[in-house]
Amino acid sequence: MHDVRSTVPKGEAFEAEAGLPRTHYLNATHGTAAWLLTKDHKRIGLLYLFAISFFFFLGGLFAMFVRLELLTPEGDLLTSEMYNTSFSMHGIIMVFFFLVPSVPAVFGNFFLPIMIGAKDVAFPKINLLSWYIAMIAGFMMLTTLLMGGVDTGWTFYPPYSTTGSSSNVVLAALSIFVMGFSSILTGLNFIVTVHTMRAPGMTWGRLPLFVWAQYATSLIMVLGTPVLAITLGLVFAERVFHFGIFDPKLGGDPILFQHLFWFYSHPAVYIMVLPGMGVISELVAAFSRKQVFGYSFVAASSLAIALVGFLVWGHHLFTSGQSAYAALVFSFLSFIVAIPSAIKVFNWTATLYRGSISLASPMLYALGFIGLFTIGGLTGLFLAALGLDLHMQDTYFVIAHFHYIMVGGTLLAYLGALHYWWPKITGRLYTEAWAKVAAITVFVGFNLTFFPQFIVGYLGMPRRYHTYVPEFQVLNVLSTAGASILAVGFILPACYLVYSLFRGGVASRNPWGAYGLEWETTSPPPTSNFLVTPIVTRPAYAYTHADVVSPYAGSTQGERDTGTEETQRV
């Protein structure tokens, strides 16, 4: 496959149109304060990138402990308490500090305003505030960690969290309470931005699917997160003020916690995967040079997921003592939620059909996503089937299910987005050959890690124990081996991406020849994103010609846009 990127030798950087622009958002102002007090959505996106990369590393460390412990059937590396703490901290950090913010806070922040032709998000100060809130929450979680961490699992179920586990739960719950507000503010900002900041001509029907996905995700953030916050707030109050709302001693009901928790946390799995789906739509279109098949269905399916995702949480309570009637209802509704996801998969596949596909590294991630997400979604349906779930609840089958979606899906999309937009963000090109090697390593490592978990779970290995019967050892060793390969797959990009900052070729405006407003501005973009407010005249993904088509009139530097100012409507 040919490399579609056009590189420019470094020496000629300032001559060619493709050279680094003289001033851009990265060099507009200097100094730590200029970064830490920035209101530029692009810089805030990068602040998030640094922060969550750190948390990803930390979460990965705990995953390593878990996998190493599971090499042998006996608990010989960690005590059971340490093991419990390891998988809890892994889950908490990965879910709340990596996956939830990942694509929205980094790429959503960076690209959503650019993709709709805005100068910034609607509330730049609130955007910065949300980063600080996230950092405060992160700091609290690190403190919890230093105090010994928590061992409740990422779900904080009472009565263990309220009466059993160590008092570290107090700070951990507060940390996630605080983190929730960061998420809420990001969602709020995106919703208002999409409604009020679109460039002239950027109608709802022309929004890139990435923006649609971000919008739907934001709805979930805004509607679900407050319930998580209040629920963990009550756990906090129960420990600190002796409130008794979930306390069975007083006649309180721990299952109420589960209802409220999953009212957020099932939709939250879509907070984690919808933005990734948006990325995949962009990648599939860009690398098959086609309009996404059934654009409006893909856009609408994002909204459908945001709605229906709120109706199925009870499938996490099948064995918790909820009524049999409710279990039936939730089981049925859970089958419905698969429909919009399936629509997306079908439409991506249809887009690939007869496209002129190039297997550039971001596309490798996209193809990986489509395959792995499909497996994750289908096994979700197994679990949603009431009868089957009674057998599989709390086994490694569940672990494999959600890792196929959260790692095989979201993380691959995140990496795909990172590779796709890296030249735009940094103005540099990384080594494509290495990127391909990394993508394949991740794919192989991932499957080797998690496929055996389907089998071992189906055979009955429960989750959250640090010992297991010897019959399961082979599959567990395979899984740990896979995890090591996976780790290599994550370290590789860290190396060649950082290398590219210093030695990479200079990226042109549009190295992939892709279609979209973000590719019309310089790489890296100027602080105000565009020198001239773009006027959009065509739908998204109008790959009608083989070469790049400008989506709006009057684009190049120096020209001033004399077109009439249309006012956008909400």
Partner 1 sequence: MSDAVHVEHAGAVGHAHHPALQHHFDDLEQQQRAAMLGMWVFLLTEVLFFGGLFMAYILYRSWYPEAFHEASRHLSVGWGFFNTLVLIASSLTMALAVRAGQTTNRRGQLLFLTLTIVLGAAFLGVKVIEYGDKFAHHLVPGPDFQFTPAELAPAAEIYFSLYFAMTGLHALHMIVGAGIMLVMLYMAWRGRFSTEWYTPLEVSGLYWHFVDIVWIFLFPLLYLIGGLSVFGGGTGH
Partner 2 sequence: MSAHIVPVRVYLIIFGALLVLTVVTVAAAGVELGWLNTPVALGIAVSKATLVVLFFMHVKYSTRLVKLTAFAGFFWLAIMITLTLSDYLTRDILAAGK
Q: Which is nearer to Cu ion, 266 or 289 (CB)?
A: 266
Q: How many residues does the chain have?
A: 570
- Lay out the site mask for partner 1 across 492-531 (x = CB under 8 A, - = otherwise): ----------------------------------xxx--x
Please say whether the beta carbons of 228 and 265 come within 8 A: yes
DSSP code per residue over 438-495: HHHHHHHHHHHHHHHHHHHHHTTPBSS-S---GGGHHHHHHHHHHHHHHHHHHHHHHH
Closest CA to 455 of 386, 385, 401: 401
Query: Should residue 325 be labelled a site residue for partner 1 when binding is judged by CB under 8 A?
Result: no
State the binding partner of 266 from partner 1, Cu ion, partner 2, none, CB within 5 to 8 A by kind.
Cu ion
d(CA 482, CA 442): 9
Q: Which is nearer to partner 1, 256 or 303 (CB)?
A: 256
Query: Should residue 473 be labelled a site residue for partner 1 when binding is judged by CB under 8 A?
Result: no
d(CA 51, CA 182): 13
Query: Should residue 325 be labelled a site residue for partner 2 when binding is judged by CB under 8 A?
Result: yes
Q: 3-state SS of the chain: helix, strand, coil percent to 5?
A: 65, 0, 30
Q: Give the binding range for partner 1 (CB under 8 A) out of 133-141, 160-168, 221-229, 416-424.
A: 221-229
DSSP code per residue over 58-122: HHHHHHHHHHHHTTSSS--SS-HHHHHHHHHHHHHIIIIIIITTHHIIIIIHHHHHHHTT-SS-S
Q: Among 215, 236, 246, 313, which residue sits at the site for partner 2 (rule: CB under 8 A)? A: 313
Q: Among 1, 36, 326, 549, which residue sits at the site for partner 2 (rule: CB under 8 A)? A: 326
Query: Should residue 418 be labelled a site residue for partner 2 when binding is judged by CB under 8 A?
Result: no
Q: Which is nearer to partner 1, 183 or 374 (CB)?
A: 183
Q: Give the binding range for partner 1 (CB under 8 A) out of 220-228, 360-368, 473-481, 538-546.
A: 220-228
- Lay out the site mask for partner 1 across 228-267 (x = CB under 8 A, - = otherwise): -xxx--x--x---xxxxx---xxxxx--x--xx-------
Please say whether the beta carbons of 136 and 178 come within 8 A: yes
Q: Which two tokens stand for residue 322?
A: 């909820």
d(CA 410, CA 139): 25
Q: Among 167, 196, 319, 544, which residue sits at the site for partner 1 (rule: CB under 8 A)? A: 196
Q: Which two tokens stand for residue 352?
A: 């690939």
Q: Among 191, 375, 417, 442, which residue sits at the site for partner 1 (rule: CB under 8 A)? A: 191
Query: Should residue 532 be labelled a site residue for partner 1 when binding is judged by CB under 8 A?
Result: yes
Q: Among 78, 329, 437, 548, which residue sits at the site for partner 2 (rule: CB under 8 A)? A: 329
Please say whether the beta carbons of 439 and 428 come within 8 A: no
Query: Should residue 195 be labelled a site residue for partner 1 when binding is judged by CB under 8 A?
Result: yes
Q: Which is nearer to partner 1, 267 or 445 (CB)?
A: 267
Burial profile 540-556: b = 16 or more Cβ within 10 angstroms, e = fewer: bbebeeeeeeebbeebe
- Lay out the site mask for Cu ion across 265-284 (x = CB under 5 A, - = otherwise): -x------------------
State the binding partner of 338 from ligand HEM, partner 1, partner 2, none, CB within 5 to 8 A by kind.
ligand HEM
Q: Which two tokens stand for residue 171?
A: 């700070």
- Lay out the site mask for partner 2 across 242-271 (x = CB under 8 A, - = otherwise): -------------xx--xx--x--------
Residues that bind partner 2 in the complex, under the rule CB under 8 A? 195, 223, 227, 255-256, 259-260, 263, 310-311, 313-314, 317, 322-326, 329-330, 570
Residues that bind Cu ion in the complex, under the rule CB under 5 A? 266
